[in-house]
Amino acid sequence: MEIRTLRYFMAIAREENMTKAAALLHVSQSTLSKQMQMLEDELGKKLFKRHSFSISLTEEGMLLRKRAADVLLLTDKINAEFAALDDITGGNIFFGCAETYQIRYLANYIKEFKTRYPSFHYHITSGDTEQVEEKLNAGILDFALIVEEPDYDNYNVLELPEGDVWGLVMPADSQLIQKESITFEDLIGLPLFCSGQGWRFDLPQWCGKGIEQLNLEGSFRLHYNASVFVKEGLGYLLTYDKLCDTSPDSGLAFRPLCPKLETKIYIIWKKGQLLTPIASKFIDGLKAFVEDK
């Protein structure tokens, strides 16, 4: 299986049309069709459902799209790393970031770093801790910013100076808006939204076995999407402060939990990992930057 063939496949999956994909790839439609037939023969599975004017993926095709995306990201990263081996003034760094307001520390340092290394480029992949750790372990990412206790045996770890404070996002007309903070008793009987990770690990630290008395209406990986559901009156969101727009005109409000629940934030990278010159300079500088905060 060639990398070029995977790029062809991804173009077809994206365009859902063989003619359009062929035009974008600057190859003939017959060449593209032949390559896809050879790919299906190699894998022994049908990858496409062919319709009158479009193409969709089979279940096997959707699986290949997910795997091919990671393979191509890793390929591009390898090429960028080798291109940067002799370049100490620039290069590419790949980050995976869980949702957290403390990403501002990373943004602040990148802004400073760019003034000294203007040919430095960065690439951010968003996801929850499980998603970004998976890509870090696969070699697709250089660094990951996570919101749970890291595995110190396998990762180098840099803890950020501040954590994220948990609270409840509610409609602006909720009676709970009169309270300065939200207790466990306030949550009983409410339809609640939360990330799966937060519900399994963070909330039990706050309320122990009381979590069994709470009603998880639905789980979300993206807090913004959950906030839209809150605005529509479908429930209340347990999340970090400042991840959702709760300004006076937003239709939402945030109140912290009581007692306070705070999640620490970490930047991790694999032990024994060979970093490019620019990545080594970056992480050394970030350590000093964080220590000064």
70 near 140, Cβ under 8 Å?
A: yes
Q: Could you tell me the end-to-end alpha-carbon distance of the chain, in angstroms, rounded to an integer?
A: 49
Q: Is the pTM of this model over 0.75?
A: no
201 near 148, Cβ under 8 Å?
A: yes
* Alpha-carbon span 293 to 283, nearest angstrom: 16
* Alpha-carbon span 263 to 129, nearest angstrom: 13
pLDDT by residue for the chain (293 residues), tens only, comes to: 788 899 898 999 888 888 888 898 888 988 898 999 999 999 998 999 888 788 889 999 889 988 888 888 878 777 776 766 665 667 889 999 999 999 999 999 999 999 988 889 999 999 888 889 988 998 889 999 999 899 999 999 999 999 999 999 999 999 999 999 999 999 999 999 999 989 999 999 999 999 999 999 999 988 889 999 999 999 999 999 999 999 999 999 999 999 999 999 999 999 988 888 889 999 999 999 998 87
What's the burial of 126, exposed, middle or buried (CB within 10 Å: 0-12/13-18/19+)?
A: middle
166 near 202, Cβ under 8 Å?
A: yes
